[in-house]
Amino acid sequence: MKEHAQYRLPQGRAQLQRVLAASGDVIHIVDVEKALAISRVEAAKRLARWREQGWLSRVGTGAYIAASIDTLGAERVLDDGWVLVPALFAPAYVGGRTAAEHWDLTEQIFKDIVVVTGQVIRTKHQKRHGFDFSLKHVKAEKIFGTKPVWRHHTKVPVSDVHRTIVDILDDPAMGGGIQQVNDCLSTYFKRPDRSDQKLIEYADLLGNGAVFKRLGFLADRQDDGRGLAEQCRTRLTAGNAKLDPALECKRLISRWRLLIPLSWATGDVS
C-alpha cells in the first residue's frame, strides 16, 4: 500500500500540471474534464482530492486556484486579483477607482480592487486569497457598459471608460472621494474617446438623479463642459443631493439642486 501511494502522488501531480497548462488562472470542473478526458463526476472528485492534498484552494463553486509555487511553477504564481473576480463575484465587473486606474483616468494607485456585483453581499470589504476587494451590489440589469479584458489567461469584465465616470459620480466613494472624481472627469474631458452622449445615455440607464446633479455641476466648472452641463439641467430631478455624501455639505447650489462643501463654493455659483 505504501508503494501504491507513492506511485499515485506523482501521477496526480502530473495530471494537475496538465490541467494547469490547459486552463486559465482559475480552474473549473470543465477544464479538468477536457484536459484529462474524464467525466464531470470524476473531474469534481479529482479537484476535491487535490484540494485535500493542499495543491488547490477553492475560490468559488467548482472553481479553484493553485495553492503553491511548487504546484504552479514560478511563472504561474497568482499575482493578479482581477482573475478571481468572475469566479468569486459573477455577475460582476471591475469598476470604480480600479477601473479609473486601468483607463488612465488617474495616476493614483489603490491597494484594493473595486468590484460591482449582482450578488447579494454581506460585507463590503473582503480579503480573499490575499487580495482586498471593495464590493458594491447592484441589480443584475444595471450591469452594462463593460468591456472584457484579458488578465493572464482569464477574461475579466471591467467598466468601460464612460461607465467608470458614471459609476464614480453615482457613488463618489467608489472613485476615492469627490476631488478624485473631479480629477478623473477633467482627464476624461481631454480624451479622444470622450463621449458626452454616452455619459448621458449611461446615466439615464442607471436612473440615479444625483448623477446628473453632480455631473452638471462639475461639467459647468470646465471650460469645455457647458454643453454637457445643459444636457444635465434638462434631467434634474426634484429634491437636493449631496456632492459627496461622505462630506459635510452645507451650501445649496439651487441651480443644480446640489449641496456642496463650503470649500467648493465660488463666487459665480448660486
250/259 Cα distance (integer angstroms): 6
For residues 68 and 76, give the distance between their C-alpha atoms in angstroms, rounded to a whole number.
9
When pLDDT is averaged across residues 158-167 and rounded to a whole number, the result is: 98
Instruction: Please tell me whether residues 102 and 231 are part of one structural domain.
Output: yes
Helices (H), the chain: 2-22, 29-36, 40-52, 69-72, 85-89, 96-102, 161-170, 178-189, 196-206, 209-220, 226-233
3-class DSSP state of 215: helix
Cα 88 to Cα 21: distance, rounded to the nearest angstrom: 22
Query: Residue 141: which residues within 8 A CB-CB, separation 6 or more?
Result: none
Alpha carbon 43 to its chain's center: 30
pLDDT, tens digit (0-9, with 9 covering 90-100), for 11-66: 777 888 888 888 878 888 898 998 899 999 998 998 988 888 888 888 888 888 88
Kindly state whether residues 199 and 248 are assigned to the same domain: yes
Q: What is the mean pLDDT of residues 152-178?
A: 95
pLDDT at 5: 40
Per residue in 67-126, pLDDT (tens digit) is: 764 554 434 446 789 999 998 999 999 999 999 999 999 999 999 999 999 999 999 999
- pLDDT of 7 strictly over 50: no
Taking phi over 0 as left and psi of -120 to 50 as alpha, with beta for the rest, 193 belongs to alpha
| Overall average pLDDT of the 184-197 stretch | 97
Of 79, 100, 115, the residue at which a domain comes to its end is 79
Length of the chain: 270
> 56 with 76: CB under 8 angstroms?
no
Residue 70 phi, psi (nearest 5) = -60, -35
250 and 177 co-located in one domain? yes
Cell triple for 257:
439642486
Collapsing DSSP to helix, strand or coil, 105 comes out as: coil
Q: Domain boundary residue among 54, 79, 104?
A: 79
CA gap 171, 247 in Å, rounded:
13
Residues 75, 87: one domain? no
DSSP 110: -
The residue from 79, 100, 120 where one domain ends is: 79
Cα separation, 117 vs 86, whole angstroms: 10
CB environment 93-108: b (16+ within 10 A), e (fewer): bbbbbbbbbbbebbee
* Together in a domain, 70 and 126: no
What total number of domains does the chain contain?
A: 2
Cβ(129)–Cβ(84) below 8 Å:
yes
CA-CA-CA-CA torsion sign (89, 92, 98, 103): positive
| Residues 28 and 112 placed together within one structural domain of the fold | no
Instruction: Supply the range of the domain harboring residue 65.
Output: 2-79
What predicted TM-score, i.e. pTM, was given to this entire model? Answer: 0.82
Q: Is 122 helix (H, G, I), strand (E, B) or coil?
A: coil
